[in-house]
Chain A
Amino acid sequence: MVNTGDTAWILTSAALVLLMTPGLALFYGGMVRAKSVLNMMMMSFGALALISVLWVLYGYSMSFGNDVGAGLLGNPTEFLGLEGLMEDTTSETGGLPVMAFVGFQAVFAIITTALISGAIAERAKFGAWMVFVGIWVTLVYFPIAHWVFDFTLTDGDGVVTHVGGWIANNLGAIDFAGGTAVHINAGAAGLALALVLGKRTGFGGEAMRPHNLPLVMIGAGLLWFGWFGFNAGSAVAANNTAAVAWVNTFVATGAACLGWLLVEKVRDGHSTSLGGASGVVAGLVAITPACSAVSPLGAIPLGLVSGVLCALAVGLKYRFNYDDSLDVVGVHLVGGLVGTIGLGFLATSAAPAGVDGLFYGGGADQLWRQVVGALAVLVVSFVATYIIGLLIQKTMGFRINEDDELTGIDSVVHAETGYDFSALGGGGGSHTQEHALPSRPTRTARAAESAAPAEPSLFAASLPHRSTEGA
């Protein structure tokens, strides 16, 4: 029997999490310079498009297929194309249609990969990025999602019916919604790619300030909203755990925002809107792994620490001279570490996960599992991403050239510009040509044909490039 409550909540959560990626596009888009806003947003939309297809083809199977050995990878062919998953099997699987879970997990793969784009803003070839997305999600995300999110299942008689990944089952690290698989993973990958591509021309000298902070605020708001699907949806049911996760997510985010704003006020003299938006994300990141394991009172210090540490960590790129343009490392890697390792201290057995951390008398048992899980994902993601990035750099080239970068990646790579605010509009140009399919004549060509016998008008004579419109 289908459990309609669970199914409705998970399908809703999946849609909420999907909205996070367009939200991220706005969040990142507002932070770059005006000449790069479209490319920045397209990196998210490109990841959305490609991973949607790859997930159905083999991604779900690589992440949630039966383990092929040592908890490292799901069987890529078990659910190939999802062909076998359309039948209603809820009488055996406990109420939630498999396809609801397939959809919910798909959007995690997309947002994780899109997060990386902030580290290489304004300078990556769009084609190279798309190739990277396909390779990275296949070789890094799908396996790591298996490690972290795929739980071993047993039937009523204790017989194992499905074998999952090593972090979730063998190590026993707690990562409720993706502190390791999503945020540490994306943060480490962002650092690797920022190192492979190198700094933007003028980094550290020129003013590279955000061109549209209201876009950043809208984006942060959409991420915030969608994140309730991300965390509370990760209960994979409409139940008490989901409700606890919701409230923890809610309060940690507020605390982190306050933490970031306080650091700015004390250090710089002003609390900024960008700081507020960033603090929100820092809190959401940190509570992601921990939202089932801590109490609301534990979520407050966790969020606060994340807001403060991330606010300090975004300055590291200037000290160590790497151009992690939009602070994927400072926010997602650092926030992911705070949440994943912090729950080793702050977990309480009163919360749904039922484990005591160091501060609640549980000793270091959960703490070391958290540290091992976090470091494993960090190292594997960094090394694998560095190699993938380097291969793309050496073969097809990852960066646009310096002239194009100075001109602006939007106009060079996408033949568009984000804004036209001038009273004149259109940049003083005129409509020159329609790109239609070559097999059928374009409207302008047909118009020219039918107008041919007529006298050419004065307009046509004086403005030859617009002759068809004049005729």
Chain B
Amino acid sequence: MRLVTAIIKPFKLEDVKTALELHGVEGLTVSEVQGYGRQRGHTEVYRGAEYQVDFVPKVKIEVLISAERAAAVVDALVEAARTGQIGDGKVWVTDVEQLVRVRTGERGPDAL
């Protein structure tokens, strides 16, 4: 089992969700996050005073998926999230040691 974590541009969420559904992903977790990468932040001006805003709003997606399907899901996700501009985000994959479905108590791949 794998955990796919992606940081993407907020307005790409709908595209990514659609792409993941097409690849059989049956559930995901979304959070609104902020941070920066090489893109850094932007400047805002209030009554002539300039402020550097370092943290850019992003969306974080977490998807649990079987090991076999992880590569295809990552490809689909990256494809859907890309605009080609700076700040498109990152995707990483980690191993998942244990998984439990809370309602039934199923464990491992059965809980996916």
Contact = CB atoms under 8 A, between A and B. Distances in A.
A and B are interacting partners? yes
Interface of A: 207, 209-210, 264, 267-268, 270, 272, 274-275, 278, 311, 314-315, 318, 327, 330
A22 to B, nearest CB: 23
Nearest to B50: A268
A275 B52 contact: no
B92 interface: no
Contacts of A315: 47-49
10 contacts: A209-B44, A267-B48, A268-B45, A270-B45, A275-B47, A278-B47, A311-B48, A315-B47, A315-B48, A315-B49
Given A207-B53, A268-B45, A268-B48, 14 more contacts: A207-B51, A207-B52, A209-B44, A209-B46, A210-B46, A270-B45, A274-B46, A311-B48, A314-B47, A314-B48, A315-B47, A315-B48, A318-B49, A327-B47
Interface in B40-92: 44-53
Residue picked from B46, B51, B53, most chain A C-beta under 10 Å: B46
A272 B46 contact: yes
A402 B85 CA distance: 43
Nearest to B45: A268
Q: State the majority secondary structure of interface residues on B.
A: strand
Which 3 A/B pairs are nearest by Cβ-Cβ distance? A207-B51, A314-B47, A268-B45
Nearest to B47: A314
A176 to B, nearest CB: 28
B9 to A, nearest CB: 22
Contacts of B47: 274-275, 278, 311, 314-315, 327, 330
A104 to B, nearest CB: 32
B72 to A, nearest CB: 32
A263 to B, nearest CB: 8
A284 B49 CA distance: 23
Contacts of A275: 47
Interface of B: 44-53
Contacts of B50: 268
Contacts of B44: 209
B92 to A, nearest CB: 26
A327 B46 CA distance: 12
A213 B50 CA distance: 16
A469 B46 CA distance: 49
B61 to A, nearest CB: 18
Nearest to B49: A318
Contacts of B52: 207
A210 B49 CA distance: 11
Nearest to A327: B47
A315 B46 CA distance: 10
A272 B45 contact: yes
Contacts of B46: 209-210, 272, 274
Contacts of A267: 48
A268 B49 CA distance: 9
A278 B48 CA distance: 12
A332 to B, nearest CB: 14
Contacts of B51: 207, 209
A207 B43 CA distance: 11
A234 to B, nearest CB: 29
Nearest to A315: B48
A119 to B, nearest CB: 14
Nearest to B44: A209
A278 B45 CA distance: 14
Contacts of A268: 45, 48, 50
A315 B47 CA distance: 8
A207 B52 CA distance: 8
Contacts of B45: 264, 268, 270, 272
A196 B5 CA distance: 52
A311 B46 CA distance: 11
Nearest to A263: B48
Contacts of A264: 45, 48
Nearest to A312: B48
Contacts of A330: 47
